[in-house]
Structure 1
Amino acid sequence: MYIIVGLGNPESKYNGTRHNIGFSAITALADANNISLDMKKHKALCGKGVIAGQKVLLAEPLTYMNLSGESVRELVDYYKVDPTDELIIIYDDINLAPGKLRIREKGSAGGHNGIKNIIAHLGSQEFPRIRIGVGEKPKGWDLADYVLGRFAKEEEPVIREALEKVVQACEVMITEDTRTAMNRFNG
């Protein structure tokens, strides 16, 4: 079984914000694979289903971004998955241009508080992740205001395309491996 977790904040006021692109990716995966996100378990909104012939659990932590590790730890423990190859974390990255993907097998938090918390709870940086570019914050802007803001109209088609690529990348990560997905989707 694979657990795919998209990071974001649970209140509806955060829907569609840059910081919630992980939730948008989970919605795209759920829609593409007819998976209903209809269970609240392990501090997350979850849905069970099948992607590319493999059992998956899709999850959106309800803990708020900075405490995402609480939910991820519960999910990993309960389902007894190996975080190094049966867990995929999807989240926003301000260091990448809007819509660019960066897939990695492991790595540091890179200043992302949600990832810092997951690393702290798992005790390891070794888990696959998909970073989705949301663009650099404009000069003079507060970082929180920027990541909690919505995409500009002209960015929306690029973001939709990126979410389609995330769906494809997850399929490759599940059926082949992370390295193959890196070679195919890292822009």
Structure 2
Amino acid sequence: MDKYLIVGLGNVGSEYDMTRHNTGFMVLDAFAKASNIVFEDKRYGFVAETTIKGRKVFLLKPSTYMNLSGNAVRYWLNKENIDQQRLLVISDDVALPLGAFRLKANGSNGGHNGLGHIQQLIGQNYARLRMGIGNEYARGQQVDWVLGRYSDEEMKTLQPSIELGVEIINSFVLSGIDITMNQYNKLGKK
């Protein structure tokens, strides 16, 4: 059976709920809710499992700090013997406007600490879905921005992209990265 690992990046703890840096967690939570599955506290993270048309899918919300996310990703790839081509990492991105998103088959970490640590441990050759959180912060205030909570207004802008993120996970598992990029990237431009 083909296996897939879908990773949402974020920080564990109620103080980080609904923060911009936890957008990856939010997409996985929406997917889990739509699939009627729950996360369990396991090694290096919270894990939920499901099957999509005969393909086994593991959802992972790393419980490591964001800048050590690679430890969780590498562990679960190895533990479940999942090919790196079947890994999708979902992260927040200040370079994209709120509600925009970009799906890529590989590439640099774009200055994101979580993606940077994953890259250090497994290289650049994995798919990533970057969710735009905007960058309306003053110089030197990036940390406060990414760790700040979304307003209700911002959630109205973000929610459709979270729902598309759920569709993108399904498409990635069923159709692969290339078809999914062609189908969804045009929808992610704001």
| TM-score of Structure 1 vs Structure 2, range by shorter chain | over 0.9
Q: Deviations over 1:8-36 (max 9, x none)?
A: 01111001000000111110110111121
Listed as ranges, the gaps of 5+ residues in structure 1 are none
Give the letter aligned to residue 107 of structure 2.
Answer: G
What's 2:165 paired with? 166
Deviation at 1:39, TM superposition (A): 3.6
Task: Calculate percent identity across the aligned residue pairs.
Answer: 38
Shift of 1:162: 0.7
Matching residue of 1:68: 69
- The one-letter code matched in structure 2 to 1:116 is G
Change beyond 3 A, Cα 1:13–1:88: same
Residues 81-109 of structure 1: CA deviation (Å, up to 9, x unaligned): 111x2111000000111111100000101
Select between 132-141 and 146-155 the one with higher mean Cα deviation: 132-141
Shift of 1:53: 4.2
Letter of the 2:134 counterpart: G
1:28 corresponds, among 19, 30, 45, to 30
User: 1:105 touches 1:126 (CA, 8 Å); kept in 2?
Assistant: yes
| Alpha-carbon shift at residue 119 of structure 1 (Å) | 0.6
Out of 3, 13, 18, which is 2:5 matched to?
3
Distance in 1 (CA, whole Å) between partners of 2:63 and 2:169 is: 22
The answer to which of 20-29 and 174-183 deviates more is 174-183
Counterpart of 1:125 in structure 2 is 124
- Whichever residue aligns with residue 98 of structure 2, its letter is P
Residues 52 and 19 of structure 1, relative CA distance in 2, 3 Å threshold: farther
> How well do the aligned residues superpose, as a CA RMSD in angstroms?
1.2
Q: CA deviation at 1:52?
A: 4.8
**Superposition pairs of residues 90-101 of structure 1, within 5 angstroms:** 90-101=90-101
Q: Counterparts of 2:52 and 2:157 in 1: how far apart (Å)?
A: 24
The CA distance in 2 between the partners of 1:109 and 1:82, in whole Å, is 20
Aligned length: 184
TM-score of the pair, normalised by structure 2: 0.93
Which amino acid in structure 2 is aligned with residue 74 of structure 1?
Y
1:141 Cα deviation (Å)? 5.3
- Partner of 1:71, secondary structure, is helix
User: Which residue in the other structure is 1:56 paired with?
Assistant: 57
Aligned to 2:105: 105
- Give 1:151 deviation, angstroms: 1.6
Distance 2:130 2:53 in 1: 21
- TM norm structure 1: 0.94
- Residue 155 (structure 1) shift: 1.4
